[in-house]
Structure 1
Amino acid sequence: MKVFVTGGAGYIGSHTLVRLLAAGHDVCVFDNYANSSPVALARARQLTNREVVAVEGDIRDSDALAQSLADFAPDAVVHFAGLKAVGESNDIPLLYYQTNVTGTMNLLAAMDAAGCRRIVFSSSATVYGEAQYLPFDEEHPIAPTNPYGRTKAMAEGVIRDWATATPDASAVLLRYFNPVGAHESGRIGEDPQDTPNNLMPFVAQVAVGRRARLSIFGDDYDTRDGTGERDYIHVVDLAAAHLAALEYSARATGCEAINVGTGQGITVKELVAAYEAACGRPIAAEIAPRRPGDVASSYAATAKAERLLGWQAALDVDDMCRSSWKWQSENPQGYDATTGAGA
């Protein structure tokens, strides 16, 4: 299969790229490297001994996108490219709408011109907003509480309307919970360009000495230990879910939203303890006030993924922490410290 991957040099994109190449698919990556690195592509080539076409471009550039799709003529698209920081989206909402919504519209138009009718979209559980009940299933109301979540919900709506209006179209909207961990080789992993917005990369940077301590925002929630509880999924499991979604899209039409999580919640303190066991050193942490908008618990209902995709998560929190530490300890400055694209 020929697969066009937007944002394929990013964290989730690069892990999915390795799975796609290992499965024998031909891949073209379209990425502007705004929050990623071409080194990840070089390492994906090394890990799989496979070549990948790489095009540097921005999904807001409709002409470049259309030309790349026309040149590659893919059978399917996996759409990762987008901005993803909740806090930042409050500060620069227009850029989020231009990238995440207009960029998706540009992609669908380019797919139409190239005759491509299959897409797997990188969505987010952020579209659900505040939990009306748990676990979140795909029928939970969509009520995002920040611009990032609203752009994901709008992009989902655009894709759903496109699929409804396009004969033989197939779209899978994968609503991720909290991707963490790294490839077992330690060669690719999460490399935030600025201060990490998520818990595990922050913990990893404290463990490796890049940051002094972790702030735990609130220890008085109604959870097992008072700290927030989230559904963390290993990025390698998430990559496998994309392959399963591609296979599903080949035998189904229409549009389906599918949660991708483990169905289990892990608290902040539990994740920190697991990371301490993985790295063999204490993680300096302090309790800070709750952050506005944070909820006590969030975890996925996963039955739909099992039913439609034949997929379920296989890796646990210890696997997540061990692989993250291998990546972070062997790449303490992420990809920036490498010398040369193939380092």
Structure 2
Amino acid sequence: MKILVTGGLGFIGSHTVVELQNKGYDVIIVDDLSNATISVLDGIEKITGKRPEFVQLDIRDLAGVSKLFSNYNDILGVIHFAASKAVGESVERPLLYYDNNLVPLINLLKELDKKDNSHFIFSSSCTVYGQADVMPITEDAPVQQAMSPYGNTKQIGEEIITDVTRVSNISAILLRYFNPIGAHESTLIGELPNGVPQNLIPFITQTAIGLRKELSVFGDDYDTVDGTCIRDYIHVVDLAKAHVAALDRLIKGDNIEKVETFNIGTGKGSSVLEIINAFEKVSGVKLPYKVVARREGDITQAYAATDKVNEILGWKAELSLETALNSAWKWEQKVRK
């Protein structure tokens, strides 16, 4: 069973490829290498004993996508990760985000629409909820006006998929995940952003190892226990396994609706300062940080209600916050060697 994974050399994509191959799926990775390196293939092969097929392609190129599906006419499903993903950057560069995050989605759906039966997993985000009124956030929480272009691309992406599945043979699952962190226990793959990290954990590990002078904490005057933002941090390996569970559901035909939506998180929120303290505990490294102004597009808090995904997909986050932080630190140490 051939599964196409776009952005498959990226942070979440590479871990999902590992879990797919561990379950016996044949994987074709498509990546333009704009925020990943080809060496990730070596890590995947060492972990699983199998090297996935790889095609370098910018899927904004419709002709290239059409050729891809022509060459691999037995693709059974697509897991779509390829996108730009930083809230702050999206505020500064909105056109980049609308181009990178919507054009590839449309191109993939155009090709899948030609097939008799196809399955699509969409990498969505808890940002579609905006600042939810009630915690934890359930899948029934209203989708609010996005607070960043990044969040808006996820909302629009979900709407596009919902509209297309109504009139096609595509079945889809939207996975709204919270904050992925950590690395594979082998330290063969992990998060390695280009340039200055846009996410908290790689900035923490790069600061701890001396690559960054200090960590910036964006605001300490939020209405939370310690004034810093609260997020639901989930180990990337747990998140990867959720994608496999979703794909299994579609392939078996167990889905009740053409489009189903699941929150993927731990159900527990942690503040930025709590994350800093937890990292210092597991690493033994004291983190230099300073509080700076709030960052545009950030919300106060978000953590998931996981009852639906636990019951219907049979999936549950198993790895602890400390395990995730420790794996991220070990990965950083290995990379800098």
TM-score normalized with structure 2 length: 0.95
Partner of 2:96: 95
Amino acid corresponding to residue 80 of structure 2 in structure 1:
H
Per-residue Cα deviation, 1:94-129 (whole angstroms, up to 9, x for no partner) = 222222112101001112235451000101111111
Amino acid corresponding to residue 63 of structure 1 in structure 2:
A
Q: Structure 1: how far apart are the matches of 2:14 and 2:7? A: 8
Structure 1 position 150, deviation (Å): 0.9
Q: Which of 247-256 and 284-293 deviates more?
A: 284-293
Per-residue Cα deviation, 1:184-224 (whole angstroms, up to 9, x for no partner) = 01111111102111111100100111001112122233322
Q: What is the DSSP-based 3-state SS (H/G/I as helix, E as strand, rest coil) of the residue aligned with 2:39?
A: helix
Aligned length: 332
Q: Structure 2: how far apart are the matches of 1:95 and 1:217? A: 24
Partner of 1:79: 80
Structure 1 position 152, deviation (Å): 1.1
Amino acid corresponding to residue 207 of structure 1 in structure 2:
A
Partner of 2:283: 279
Partner of 2:334: 330
Partner of 1:266: 270
Amino acid corresponding to residue 28 of structure 1 in structure 2:
I
Q: Structure 1: how far apart are the matches of 2:100 and 2:118? A: 21
Is 1:5–1:30's contact at 8 Å kept on the other side of the alignment?
yes
Per-residue Cα deviation, 1:113-170 (whole angstroms, up to 9, x for no partner) = 3545100010111111122222221122222111111111111111111111113x31
TM-score normalized with structure 1 length: 0.93
Amino acid corresponding to residue 229 of structure 1 in structure 2:
I
| Residues 165/8 of structure 1: CA separation in 2 closer, same or farther (3 Å cut) | same
Task: State how 1:161-310 maps to structure 2 within 5 Å.
Answer: 161-167=163-169, 169-250=170-251, 251=253, 252=255, 253-310=257-314
Q: Structure 1: how far apart are the matches of 2:294 and 2:85? A: 21
Amino acid corresponding to residue 165 of structure 1 in structure 2:
V
Q: Identical aligned pairs, as a percentage?
A: 45
Structure 1 position 70, deviation (Å): 2.4
| Residues 92/223 of structure 1: CA separation in 2 closer, same or farther (3 Å cut) | closer
Q: Structure 1: how far apart are the matches of 2:116 and 2:205? A: 43
Is 2:76–2:118's contact at 8 Å kept on the other side of the alignment?
yes
Q: Structure 2 residue aligned with 1:157, among 156, 159, 169?
A: 159
Partner of 1:42: 42
Q: Structure 2: how far apart are the matches of 1:50 and 1:23? A: 12
1:30 aligns with 2:30: yes
Q: Structure 2: how far apart are the matches of 1:51 and 1:330? A: 22
Is 1:175–1:257's contact at 8 Å kept on the other side of the alignment?
yes
Q: Which of 293-302 and 115-124 deviates more?
A: 293-302
Q: What is the DSSP-based 3-state SS (H/G/I as helix, E as strand, rest coil) of the residue aligned with 2:152?
A: helix
Q: What is the DSSP-based 3-state SS (H/G/I as helix, E as strand, rest coil) of the residue aligned with 2:16?
A: helix
Partner of 1:338: none
Partner of 2:51: 51
| Residues 309/99 of structure 1: CA separation in 2 closer, same or farther (3 Å cut) | same
Per-residue Cα deviation, 1:19-39 (whole angstroms, up to 9, x for no partner) = 111111100001101111111
Amino acid corresponding to residue 269 of structure 2 in structure 1:
G
| Residues 234/297 of structure 1: CA separation in 2 closer, same or farther (3 Å cut) | same
Amino acid corresponding to residue 314 of structure 1 in structure 2:
E
Is 2:122–2:173's contact at 8 Å kept on the other side of the alignment?
yes
Unpaired runs of 5+ residues, structure 2, are none
* Moved >6 Å (runs of 4+): none
Q: Structure 1: how far apart are the matches of 2:299 and 2:150? A: 17
Q: What is the DSSP-based 3-state SS (H/G/I as helix, E as strand, rest coil) of the residue aligned with 2:141?
A: coil
